[in-house]
């Protein structure tokens, strides 16, 4: 079991190096006019989303330009959500023991983790919707410190919707020559408002006797 974990880590590192070294070539292939292999493009999107330090917005915009706002947005959202889940389980299986041991030694981290653990959905959702912390670090934190996976995944999917649609919209707009940035802003504001109202409603329902 120990060897299989290290094998997975080695494969992940090799994938990381491959994507960094061949990033432009892969993007050129996806963008090529004659390429209509949606499934292969989808797999590449997962890989790009799972590898740190690679800007997913670039491939997200290319997918949007190639497949349009709706299909491109679905591909972006699904690929990035799968990548988040894979990274979560990779770090959960590899480093959860070390993470919990470190957590026990740090009072400051325990205090922060207690707040996050009591509000997993809202903490992860906020991290996704306002991308101050890199998505990769959120995925790692979730796995290493055993955040509730259902709450993590739901917050990830919902929190990524605006950004993934924006990436697809930017690519689609660039391909068609349109530049409606007000629409991009409205997507974010409207979606955040809807999620906040839903959150307040659920919270209010739970507090009723």
Q: What is the pLDDT of residues 1-12, one digit of tens each?
A: 555 666 767 777
pTM score, two decimals? 0.79
* pLDDT the model gives residue 88: 94
157 close to 51: Cβ distance less than 8 angstroms: no
Reference 167, options 43, 65, 85; nearest CA is 65
With a CB cutoff of 8 Å and minimum separation 6, the contacts of 38 are: 67, 75
Reference 51, options 11, 86, 16, 6; nearest CA is 16
Q: At 26, list the tokens.
A: 């892969």
The residue ranges of every structural domain in the chain are 2-207
136 close to 72: Cβ distance less than 8 angstroms: no
Mean pLDDT of 20-40: 73
pLDDT of 109 > 90? The answer is: no
What are 141-165's pLDDT values in tens digits? Answer: 999 888 999 999 999 999 898 888 8
Q: Between vectors from CA 57 to CA 56 and to CA 61, what angle results, nearest 5°?
A: 120
Q: DSSP 3-state assignment of 62?
A: helix
Question: What is the average pLDDT value for the chain, to the nearest integer?
Answer: 80
């Amino acid at each position: 079991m120990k060897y299989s974990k290290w094998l997975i880590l080695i494969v992940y590192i090799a994938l990381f190096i491959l994507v960094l070294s061949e990033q432009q070539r892969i993007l050129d292939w996806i963008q090529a006019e004659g390429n209509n292999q949606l499934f292969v493009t989808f797999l590449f999107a997962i890989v790009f989303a799972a590898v740190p330090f690679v800007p997913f917005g670039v491939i997200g915009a290319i997918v949007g330009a190639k497949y349009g706002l709706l299909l491109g947005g679905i591909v972006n959202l699904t690929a990035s959500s799968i990548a988040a889940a894979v990274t979560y389980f990779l770090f959960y299986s590899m480093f959860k023991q070390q993470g919990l041991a470190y957590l026990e030694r740090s009072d400051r981290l325990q205090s922060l983790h207690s707040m996050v653990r009591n509000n997993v959905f809202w903490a992860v959702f906020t991290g996704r919707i306002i991308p101050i912390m890199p998505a990769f670090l959120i995925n790692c934190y979730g796995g290493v410190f055993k955040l509730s996976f259902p709450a993590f995944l739901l917050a990830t999917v919902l929190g990524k919707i605006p950004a993934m649609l924006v990436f697809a919209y930017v690519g689609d707009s660039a391909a068609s020559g349109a530049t409606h940035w007000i629409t991009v802003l409205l997507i974010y504001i409207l979606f955040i408002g809807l999620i906040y109202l839903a959150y307040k409603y659920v919270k209010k329902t739970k507090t009723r006797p």
